[in-house]
Amino acid sequence: MLLTDKVVIVTGAGGGLGAGIARVCSREGANVLVADIRGDAAQALAESLPCPALGLGVACDVGDDDAQARLVEQAVAHFGRIDGLVNNAGINFAKPFLDTTEAEWERIIRVDLRAVFFLSQKVCRQMLAQSQPGGSIVNISSVHSQAALPGAGPYDAAKGGVVAMGKSLAVELAPLGIRVNAISPGLLNTQIWQDIQDAAPSAEECLAYWKSNIPIGRVIETEEIGELAAFLLSPRSSSITGANIFADGGMTAQLISKEPYLSKALEGK
């Protein structure tokens, strides 16, 4: 197993992507601290892990500095150390630029960017104070770090910032034995995907449209991202730091949507 005896914190893990990541880390042998702003959801997920005896559910609002400090303290008190952190907690956002308020901007940046920086800082201090210093941090960014959609300014700024910030941390922390990487998922099979289908006039047309934008022709399962996160947390990725890995089914590699017709060959002259 990739993460035997490792202690990993996964934020925003009461459901969705974070839950998928936590399940894979548990299956790979890790002691997993499931953190979520919904304490009951965190506890329920911890109890449902492949190795529930190695799980702990904790209520945590990552946007609160004191809550971050308590999270680190609880991890050390329960498990004795911290080896990995997955900064997954975040807020989605879509609203026209001209209608976006300062309060909305501050809220998204606080949770999706600022929290990643300062929780990582607290965890790194603990990692360096341990008898065997070092560790791995995985930041969950998004395809929005590469391309954009209308109305997603604060979210795009935060996710792009996570990648750029992570590169700086990776370079600074590499000599200290701490690696920092990002994963940028595409469209995931979570509640957001269900909401997209529900909002469309036709679920079938919605599915066909998104398939045309995803070369592998389907949405990504949360545990597929979990597999990548577990690898980046493990010693098998020991040479990888400062990377941003796109796990999007080829979405950001495709120039435009696939044509709804078959073109003739263009062979040039």
CATH number of the domain that 238 lies in?
3.40.50.720
The number of distinct structural domains making up the chain is 1
Residue 262 forms part of a structural domain: no
Angle at 177 between CA 171 and CA 181, to 5 degrees: 50
Residue 206 belongs to a domain? no
- In-domain check, residue 266: no
Per-residue pLDDT reduced to its tens digit, 223-252: 999 999 999 999 999 999 999 999 999 999
Cβ(213)–Cβ(219) below 8 Å? no
Tokens of 260: 């709804």
CA distance 123 to 84: 9
**Domain for residue 87, yes or no?**
yes
- Please check whether residue 133 lies inside any domain of the structure: yes
For residue 193, name the pLDDT band (cuts at 50, 70, 90). Answer: confident
Domain of residue 173 covers: 7-188+221-250
Burial state string for 63-91 with b = 16 or more CB within 10 A and e = fewer than 16 = beeebbeebbebbeeebebbbbbbbbbbb
Q: Name the residue among 42, 40, 32 with its Cα closest to residue 12.
A: 42
Q: For residues 186 and 248, is the Cβ–Cβ distance under 8 A?
A: yes
Average pLDDT over residues 209-232: 95
- In this prediction, residue 200 carries a pLDDT of 85
- Give the active site residues: 155
Report yes or no on 175 lying in a domain.
yes
pLDDT band with cut points at 50, 70 and 90 for residue 168: very high
Hey, what amino acid is at 223? Answer: E
Q: In the predicted model, is pLDDT for residue 3 greater than 90?
A: yes
pLDDT digits (tens, 9 = 90+) for 90-122: 998 989 999 999 999 999 999 999 999 999 999
Domain presence at residue 110: yes
